[in-house]
């Protein structure tokens, strides 16, 4: 059983790591940016995936200092990798608990300022959640973040409780379609899932959002998404989440 003090220790002992997964244009196949994904390099357990410790971090509110570290580290990495010169975006997952803090926007501003990353190269991924009950606060945060120039993505689209009402009230820049849909592009559920994918892509584009489909694992899925007019894809076909040394090899030559 993971405890708060284990997570506190992980942060203090610098056992947390970020891996990076590429997001690619479906046409042309060029790299659009990376998504930062947290890992815990545990001295005995090895590399612990987020699914096992993020829920504990949320229950104990340790996600708040951890989330601040993630934001800082991802922005710093984007600067080291010359994202502004390369025209790339760094996507960072934000816990609803973090996003709901009154001073969340200050945290983002501080991370940008400390690292020197221009705001337009940062994309904050938020999920719909029951935690985000305070829609007024969410709205004012999004407005302030967009005024800073930060982009906002709705993550895991299509799986939660209230995606459409969030889309109605918040001006997202990007929509990320959950990977649970993607595998059925090539199963016997293909006709239904193709209709849904097509509708989600149209919806995103009608609302001026860039749409990324996640979990693309083979050429057939990619080709179908290209035919449906999808903008970006992410998934094991293109790149797995990689440690920084390996992710760096995916960078295009600086412009």
Residues interacting with Mn ion, by CB under 5 A? 93, 125, 155
Q: Which residue is listed with tokens 């390369």?
A: 86
Nearest distance in Å: CB 95, Na ion: 14
Q: Could you tell which of ligand G, Na ion, Mn ion, none binds residue 70, using a CB distance below 5 to 8 A set by kind? A: ligand G
Identify any residues that bridge with 122 across adjacent strands, giving them in sequence order. 90
Rounded distance between C-alpha atoms, residue 31 and residue 250, angstroms: 8
121 DSSP 8-state letter: G
When the beta carbons of 158 and 244 are compared against Na ion, the nearer one is 158
Interaction residues for Na ion, span 146-165 (CB under 5 A): 155-156
**92 vs 105 by CB, closer to Mn ion:** 92
CB of 110 to Na ion, least distance (A): 26
**In sequence order, what are the beta bridge partners of 213?**
177, 233
How many degrees, rounded to 5, is the angle at CA 69 between CA 67 and CA 75?
100
Report the length, in residues, of the chain: 255
Q: What is the smallest separation between the CB atom of 125 and ligand G, expressed in angstroms? A: 6
> Which positions lie near ligand G, rule CB under 6 A?
21, 37-38, 49-51, 54, 67, 70, 93, 95, 155-156, 179, 214-217, 234-236, 241
Closer Cβ to Mn ion, 127 or 221, answer by number:
127
Q: Are 160 and 126 in contact (CB under 8 A)?
A: no
User: Cα dist. 109→11, 114, 144 in Å?
Assistant: 22, 9, 10
Nearest distance, CB of residue 191 and Mn ion, angstroms: 28
The reply to whether 125 sits near Na ion by the rule CB under 5 A is: no
């Amino acid at each position: 059983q993971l405890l708060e003090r284990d997570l506190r220790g992980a942060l203090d002992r610098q056992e947390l790591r970020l891996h990076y997964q590429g997001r690619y244009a479906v046409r042309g196949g060029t790299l659009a940016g990376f998504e930062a994904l947290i890992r815990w390099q545990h001295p005995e357990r090895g590399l612990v995936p987020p699914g096992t410790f993020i829920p504990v971090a949320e229950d104990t509110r340790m996600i708040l200092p951890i989330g601040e570290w993630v934001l800082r580290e991802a922005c710093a990495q984007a600067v080291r990798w010359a994202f502004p010169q390369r025209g790339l975006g760094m996507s960072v997952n934000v816990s609803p608990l973090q996003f709901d803090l009154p001073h969340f926007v200050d945290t983002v501003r501080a991370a940008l300022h400390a690292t020197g990353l221009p705001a337009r190269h940062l994309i904050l991924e938020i999920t719909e959640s029951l935690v985000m009950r305070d829609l007024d606060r969410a709205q004012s945060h999004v407005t302030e973040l967009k005024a800073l120039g930060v982009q906002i993505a709705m993550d895991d689209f299509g799986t939660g409780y209230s995606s459409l009402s969030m889309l109605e009230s918040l001006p997202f820049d990007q929509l990320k379609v959950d990977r649970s849909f993607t595998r059925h592009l090539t199963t016997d559920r293909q006709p239904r899932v193709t209709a849904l994918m097509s509708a989600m892509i149209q919806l995103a584009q009608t609302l001026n959002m860039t749409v990324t489909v996640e979990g693309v694992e083979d050429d057939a899925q990619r080709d179908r998404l290209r035919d449906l007019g999808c903008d970006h894809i992410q998934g094991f076909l293109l790149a797995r989440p990689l440690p920084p040394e390996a992710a760096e090899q995916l960078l295009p030559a600086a412009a």
